[in-house]
Structures are given as C-alpha cells and as structure tokens.
Amino acid sequence: MKLNLIQRIAKNMAVLLTSRIVSRVLGFFYVMFTARYLGAQGFGVLSFALAFTGIFGIFANFGIGSLIVREVARDKPLAKKYVANSIGIKIILGLATFCLLGLTIYIMGYPQQTVIVVFIIAGSIMFSNFNNIFNSIFQAFEKMEYISLGQAFNSLLLLVGAVFAIRAGLSIVAFAVLYLIAGLLVLIYSFIVLRWQFADLVPITLADFVEVDWGFWKSTLKESLPFFLSAFVAIIAFRIDIIMLSIMKGDVDVGWYSAAYKLMEVFILIPATFIGAIYPLLSKYYLSSQESLKLAYQRAFKYLSILGLPIAVGATLLAGRIILLIFQSTFTPSIIALQILIWTIPMIFLTYMYGTILASINRQLLAFKINFSCMLLNIILNLILIPKYTYIGASAATVATTLLSLVLSFYFVSRFVCKIPAYEYITSPVIASVIMGVLVLFFLKMNLFLIISGSVVVYFGALFLLKTFTKEDYVLFRQIINLKSNVIV
C-alpha cells in the first residue's frame, strides 16, 4: 500500500515539476522584462489590475473547480455531468461578475488608463474561469501534465508578447491585452486536449456541451459554496494588501511591493506541484484508506518543511543582489520587502498543504474559518501599518497573517486527521539551514550563482549527515528521477 502510494505521488510530481519549472522560468523572465520596461509605477498599475480582477475572479469560479476535482476523483463517471452543467453556471456567474467589477472600479474613481487595463485583464479572467473546468477534470483524472503544459504555454505567450511590446515601444495597455490573448489561446488548448485525450472518459459532444439541469445546478452551487467562501476570504487575506496599498500610497509603492511579491511567488511552484499531485489521492483515500491519507500527510509535511526553510534563509541574505540583478536599481526599495516577505515561504508551503487536506476530508468550513480569521487580521494590520510604513508594513502584515494561518491549520488537521511530531521533521532542516546560512555569509561577495549552487549542496549534504531521509524517501526519489527521465524522453 505504502509503495503504491509513493509511486503514484512520484508519477504525478514528475510530470508536474518538469513542466512547471519551464513555466516558472518563462514567467520569471516575463516579470523581469516587464518590470524593467514599465518601471515601478507602470508595474504597480499592472499588479493592481491583476490583484483586483483576481479577487472578482473568485466570484466567477465560485469554488466549482475544487468541487469537481473532489467529486470526480471519487466517481469518474460524474465528469461529463459536471463539465456540461458547469459551463452554463459559469456563463451566468461570469457575466454577473464582470458587471460587478465594472461598477466597483468606476465607483473607486481610478484614472482612465488604470480602468482600461482592469477591464481588459478582466476579460482574461473570464477565459481562465472556463479553463478552470477543464483543468479540474485533468486533475481529477490525475493528468496534471496537461495543466502544467497549459501553464507553460501561457507563460510562453506572455513572454513572447512582452518582448514584442517592449521592442515596439507599446504602452501598458498592450501588456493587458497580452493576458487576454494568452487566456483565450490557453482555453482553446485545454478544450482540444479534453476532446482529444478524454473522449472515452468524458464522452461529451458539442451538441450537449452545455446542459441545464436546474436540480444539479442548485446542488453544485450549494456544495461549492464552502469552497467559494474559503477561496474568497483567502484571496482577500493575501491580495487586499495591494488594493489597500494602491489606495493609500499609490502605484509606485505597489510596484516596489509587487516586485518582491512576484519573486516570492516563484517558489510557490513547489507546494503547488506536490499538493496538486496528491489532492486527488487525498480525496480518494479519505473514503477508502485512512492509513494512506495519514501517510500522505506525513510525507507532505516532511518534504515541504525541508524545502521551505532554506529558501527563506538564503533569500534573506541574498535579497540585495537578487533584486538589483533582476529589476535593477529602480527597484532598490524592494530589497527589504523581499527580506520580509520571503519568510512566508516556509509557512505557505505548509498552509498550502493544510488547505488541500481540509478540502479532501470535507472540512471546507474549517478552511473558511481559518481564512476568515486571516482576512480580518490582514485588513486590520494593513490599516495600521500601511499609512506609516507603506510597502514594508504590508510585507509585515502578510507574514503575520501567514503565521496565523499556519497555526490554525496545524491545530485543525492535528485534530481531525492525525497528530504528527512536527519538531522531529523540522529539527534537521533548521540545523542544515543554519549551516547553509553561515556558508552564504562567508562567501557573500562571490558569484551569485556559485553561492546558490554551493548552498544547495551544503544544505542537502547536511541533511544526509543528519540522517533525515529514510529508505521510503529514497524509493520516492528514485521514482521521481525515473519518471522525469521518461517524461523528457
């Protein structure tokens, strides 16, 4: 049982990690080129538009994607029913959301250029909303490679479009249009994959692509409501800072803050890959095997703890060199923001996992309560800190909010799933990170890439000497290496 679980996690992780690394690399260069070209103010406007539309995008999705993953992972024949009915539901939700978004941005009184950028990007959010249905099916069938390929395709489109816009000397509106075009093309890609690869699993034709089953619509909206509420308060908790910073301080401060935030987000591919790989399994094992569910939780906690802490330590010490290398001197104020924000990474790695576990065991209400508490704390802290400390205050508020989320999540999962000796899993990473940090300080003036490479070797070497990994860990590593080789071939 344990070996089979490890093999399935390894398979899912291998295909996800390979394509997501490509996607993140492309996205990294897109952010770098775009921020340099637009400057702090222009990048601030674009970041505000993405955060603003992202919040409203939650209304259009309404948690339906997460519901599809959970239910179809347990009962595959439900896939056709969910796809056909979700299309109709999301058309109505999307139109209502677009109108609400337009009214809100008008009332807020933003400049015309900002309003135009927001409306254009809102269109891309609508495309993403429908794409979410197809991605949920892929995830439910444990075909995450199609999701990752779509993400890589999206990143490639944005990067190529950004290079073209920069060479042509186009305005920020052109960058907003890039999101619209990329969103449409990725939606077309996902539809083609669904029709091509899932013809037998999801035997749906164009004639019955949209189904109106009022009873099913009602039950879907009712069951997805907890997912929606949790996602809504979560995005408010971790995106309202950009909106509040924009209102209180302006686009430049948003640009500095967002530059650091974007770098921090690069590392989220790690928990996203791991948790995306095991979510369908968690949902299934909740009903069929409590032992496997607990094993998956223990492995996830251990690996994510190992990966998160050294990133925070290394980025804190190297923040100045990283910011100046990527964004140049215009974004020097982003250095301290990165040094603060990066400490959310070890916590986000774990909270990402906890949110997925709570969803897989039908405890969405608990996830909502956690996120609601975090939302309140984040809003209060931002109201207190932003007026005096601007983007630095917003960074500190984000760290405090993430810490609260981690503490509450750990408590509830320990109560409803199982208790684990957390200190046993984090002791070795803490010791290894301290050793690595000393090395970084000693060679701080060396070539940045040599420092990073050497730090990775020292960190995992220290973990090896501390006997952190078990035989089952090595089995998983071999599975991942073998499967990644097959993917590449």
User: In a structure prediction context, what are the per-residue pLDDT tens digits for the chain, which is 489 residues long?
Assistant: 444 555 555 555 566 666 777 887 888 899 999 999 999 899 999 999 998 998 888 888 888 888 888 778 777 777 777 787 888 888 888 888 888 998 999 888 888 899 999 999 998 888 888 888 888 888 887 777 788 888 889 999 999 999 999 999 999 999 999 999 999 999 999 888 888 877 765 555 555 566 676 777 888 888 888 788 878 887 887 788 999 999 999 889 999 999 999 888 888 777 766 666 665 566 566 656 666 667 777 777 888 888 889 999 999 999 999 999 999 888 999 999 999 999 999 999 888 888 777 877 777 678 788 888 999 999 999 999 999 999 999 999 999 999 999 999 899 888 877 787 778 888 899 999 999 999 899 888 888 889 999 999 999 999 989 888 877 666 655 655 554 444 333
Interatomic CA distance for residues 358 and 416, integer angstroms: 9
Report which of 398, 358, 81, 320 is spatially closest to residue 230, judged by C-alpha positions.
358
Q: Can you give the pLDDT at residue 391? A: 92
C-alpha 30/C-alpha 160 separation (Å) is: 8
| pLDDT value of residue 382 | 95
Q: How far apart are CA 235 and CA 57, in angstroms?
A: 10
Residue 119: predicted pLDDT: 92
From CA 444, how far away is CA 222, in angstroms rounded? 55
- Using the 8-state DSSP alphabet, how is residue 457 labeled? H
Which pLDDT score is estimated for 477?
59
Domain ranges of the chain: 2-488
Question: CA-CA distance, 143 to 155, in Å (whole number)?
Answer: 20
- What is the per-residue pLDDT for 215? 78
Q: What is the pLDDT of residue 288?
A: 62
What is residue 7's predicted lDDT score, i.e. its pLDDT?
A: 56
pLDDT of residue 45: 92
Q: Which residues are CB-neighbours of 179 under 8 A, at least 6 positions away? A: 50, 120, 121, 124, 158
Sign of CA dihedral 390, 115, 378, 336: negative
Q: For residues 220 and 192, is the Cβ–Cβ distance under 8 A? A: no
How many whole angstroms from its chain centre is CA 298? 21
Nearest to 108 by CA among 52, 147, 58, 154: 52
Q: What is the DSSP string of 402-450?
A: HHHHHHHHHHHHHHHT----HHHHHHHHHHHHHHHHHHHHHTTTS-HHH
Closest CA to 405 of 394, 413, 395, 393: 413
Amino acid letter, 168: A
Instruction: Provide the whole-model pTM.
Output: 0.80
In the structure encoding, which two tokens stand for residue 272, read together?
A: 């996203």
**Token pair for 395:** 């960074």
Helices (H), 109-200: 112-140, 144-168, 172-197
